[in-house]
Amino acid sequence: MKRENYKHMKKNLLFTILFPLLMAALVSACSDRWEEHTALNEDVQNISLLAYLEEQSEYSEFVSLLKSTTWADSLSSSLLYTVFPPTNEAMNAMASIPQTAEEKALFVAHHIVEGRLALKSVKEPMLKMKSRKRLLLDVDAAVLDGVELDASPSVVLNGNAYSMAQALEVRPTVWEYLSEQASSNKQVDFVHSLTGRYFDEESSEATGYNEDGQVIYDSVFVDKNLFNMQIADLASEDSAFTYIIVGDVAWQAEFEKFSPYFRRHTDKRLDPDGRDSVNIQMEVLRDYCFDQAYAPEEFSGTLVSPSGVSIVIDPAKVISSFRASNGYVYVMEDCPIPLEAKILPVKIEAEQLERYFGYDVDAGSAQGYLRINPKASGGKDFVLDNHGSKALVEGLVLSGGALPSAKYRVYWRAVNNFRTSMRNPTDVVLQQRLGTVKPIERDEEGVPTDFGLPITGSVSTTFHPVELTEYSDDPEADEFFVGTFNNPTFEEVFFQLIPDGESYTRMAVTLDYIQLVPEFN
């Protein structure tokens, strides 16, 4: 038999076998979709959601509120919605009925979602109600926000209606609770003090330009809170939070504990209303807010704040709790923030992207090399190589970020596997020195462009040899103790690594990372 005929017969045989299977699968899929369509549409009533609700006497109280809002027009339109109407019995059981137009609109919207919702097809358990608040739907139990609903909806032209024997509670956000319901104390009052008038660029209209080419606005100012702007927007319905309020004694204790570490100024007297006081309290405050909603049964053990601080929660210290629409608030006797958990060791990687390099060589040249090495921290290290005839003046300058005011033991991991210089290798021992520098010039965006001379006595005043070697498997075995560093204020610190250019001009600097380990008294 010819090979061509064999191939043709083989294709026909495969087609004969596979075609019925494919058709069966297609028919089955179509059948499943048709059954789903039939189940959804076989009992469709030829009326709108509004008309349906008006016909049902058990919803008259809800309908009365509904018709006093613009939602009456929406539910009689061609747009699709799903409504969860509470019965009259449920409405009468409410502690208070909405009174104002705003309250009525919010309450009604809290019982409506966009689109025709079928329980069996729900994949995302968090429903976004038209009130903008998110509620958890347990599909299997047919429970929305802890309230049972009729699993079989009434299906009408423009949506579905699921009857509820209890009204859905419209809870305030964490921010609304703090602003309107939380009892006054030092922590709560401090948060309130952070509210002020701020320029709102989005709402302001540009009217022209000034002589410097800057935009002139018909300015609009709005009330905003610094906590919501800089730490967490507790008013957001699209996020989840856990917020802790501690008593006055505990708040004062945390403030005093961290006062020495987060002062930006060197004034001996700490003004309770001054800039330093605000900075310190903000640093304490940020670790009492978590970006996850922990229910009471979950609120225990060790929680980690977004800034990476681990705090041990003692449920026995909880005085009261409040369930908000976007999380929980816990009032506690105290909740200590461990000093060692907040003032952490700092590792400054040489290959970090946000870095500043000084390549200044007097009549010479320098070139930086980002090197890949699996044994280096992060898989990379950096070499700043100088082959010029003059000293490498500025060396390698790295930002350590905003460091708390503390005493640090400073180590570097610097591996010299290229001898003195990569381009001009010699037998001279590579030597380098680590210090700190301050920016003396910045660009329009505040990014440093030039630095001053090394600060006297910062970290090390002498050059240290970096012998020819290779990376070991243990990073700590490669670490070299450089010296101690006393950071006087809470601010961004820049570290400068320079070679011994006076003794040997073609000398490079090499670095994997700098490690800062805080010392506590």
341-385 residue pLDDT tens: 999 999 999 988 666 777 666 545 788 889 999 999 999 999 998
**What's the pLDDT score for residue 220?**
60
The model's confidence at residue 266, banded by pLDDT at 50, 70 and 90, is low
Residue spans of the domains in the chain: they are 49-161, 174-342, 346-519
**188 class by beta-carbon count within 10 Å (0-12 exposed, 13-18 middle, 19+ buried):** middle
Listed ranges 116-130, 337-351, 489-503; the one with the highest mean pLDDT: 337-351
pLDDT reported for residue 359:
65
Provide the CATH topology of domain 346-519: Jelly Rolls (2.60.120)
Better pLDDT: 5 or 498: 498
Token reading at 387:
């082959």
Percent of the chain with pLDDT over 70: 86
Whether 403 has a pLDDT exceeding 60, the answer reads yes
The candidate with the shortest Cα–Cα distance to 360, out of 496, 512, 513, 455, is: 496
Tell me the percentage of the chain whose pLDDT exceeds 90.
62
**The predicted structure's pLDDT at residue 454:** 79
pLDDT at position 200 is 66
What number is the average pLDDT over the span 327-334? 97
Mean pLDDT of all residues in the chain? Answer: 86
pLDDT tens-digit map of 421-470:
888 888 889 999 999 999 998 888 888 888 888 787 788 888 999 988 89
**Residue holding tokens 């909405």?**
98
Helix segments in 42-164, DSSP class H: 49-55, 60-66, 71-74, 88-92, 101-109
Q: pLDDT value at position 18?
A: 46
- List the one residue out of 240, 50, 236 whose CA is nearest residue 132: 236
Query: Read out DSSP for 312-356?
Result: EE-GGGEEEEEEETTEEEEEES-----HHHHS--EEEETT-SS-E
Q: List pLDDT tens digits, range 143-201.
A: 999 999 998 999 999 999 999 999 999 999 999 999 999 999 999 999 999 998 776 66
- Which CATH code is given to the segment(s) 49-161? 2.30.180.10
Residue 32 is predicted with a pLDDT of: 42
Q: Would you say residue 107 has pLDDT above 80? A: yes
At 269, the pLDDT band (50, 70, 90 cuts) reads: low
Segment 192-215 shows an average pLDDT of 76
- In contact, 267 and 276? CB cutoff 8 Å: yes
The residue assigned the tokens 């007297």 is 269
Contact 88, 60 (CB under 8 A): yes
Same fold, 49-161 and 346-519: no
Residue 268 has pLDDT above 70, yes or no: no
Residue 34: its pLDDT value, please?
36
* Tokens 């009130």, residue located: 131
pLDDT value at position 16? 47
Compute the distance between CA of residue 449 and CA of residue 490 in angstroms, rounded to an integer. 21
Contacts of 86 (CB under 8 A, 6+ apart): 59, 62, 111, 164, 165, 166, 167, 168
